[in-house]
Amino acid sequence: ATAKILAAGGGTPLITCHQGTADAERVVREITETGGTASFALYDAANPDVFLETLRNRNVIPTHVYYFPSPKIFLKKGRDWDTDVFRRFVEVYVDGFAHLYRICSLVQPDRLVMFYPSTTALDKAVVYLAEYTAAKGAGEALCRYLTGLDPRLSIRIERLPRMTPDQTLTLMPIAAKDPLPVMLDIIRDLHTISP
């Protein structure tokens, strides 16, 4: 939804993915078929320098970055703390965001605006999501640290409710919000911050 909203507003989104290139290509195609402009590139948080080269080769200077990668959220089978699951989440929600910030700050000499989607699961204990919420909490702490470190950086942290993208689809009917109105408000707010 975010890339389509940005393109509809005249932006030129660069959609990144580590896996699921067919989905990214489909979104780019849908945007371009309706008169918008978009492209995609691979981003592997474990090997971020490849993405840095991609940005430099394409002469892309990001101004607004929306961070949405995620491993499968529902991994646990039991109630006990699982350190391996926690580490997998930290690699994406903390390390991946830190790497992306570093890369973008290297090619963006001026103001950089980033969006970090957190979770309302931090506001209450959710069974089977301890590792996920702990990693998201660490990601929020990282965002506060980075904004204190870099005066050019503005990060909006938003604790999002469960929404209906592929990541949260389940076989059981669970209430989920439509991402379009939620993201539209966030995008409008972020784009009042000048890059």
Entry pTM: 0.87
pLDDT computed for residue 125 by the predictor: 82
State mean pLDDT over 138-152: 98
Counting every residue written for the chain, the total comes to 195
Residues 6+ apart with CB under 8 A from 140: 116, 118, 122, 157
CA distances from 75 to 71, 121, 128, 131, 177 (A): 9, 16, 8, 10, 22
Separation CA 152–CA 195 (nearest Å): 9
Domain boundaries 43-189, CATH class = alpha beta
Angle at 133 between CA 49 and CA 186, to 5 degrees: 70
Q: What is the pLDDT of residues 28-60, one digit of tens each?
A: 999 999 999 999 999 988 788 999 999 999 999
Q: Where are the domains of the chain?
A: 43-189
State mean pLDDT over 164-181: 55
Mean pLDDT of all residues belonging to the chain: 88
Residue percentage of the chain with pLDDT more than 70: 90
Count of CB atoms within 10 A of residue 187's CB? 18
pLDDT computed for residue 163 by the predictor: 67
Highest mean pLDDT among 74-78, 91-95, 127-131: 91-95
1 pLDDT more than 90:
no
State mean pLDDT over 153-171: 72
Res. 167 pLDDT band, cuts 50 70 90: very low
Counting beta carbons within 10 angstroms of the beta carbon of residue 158, is it exposed (0 to 12), middle (13 to 18) or buried (19 or more)? middle
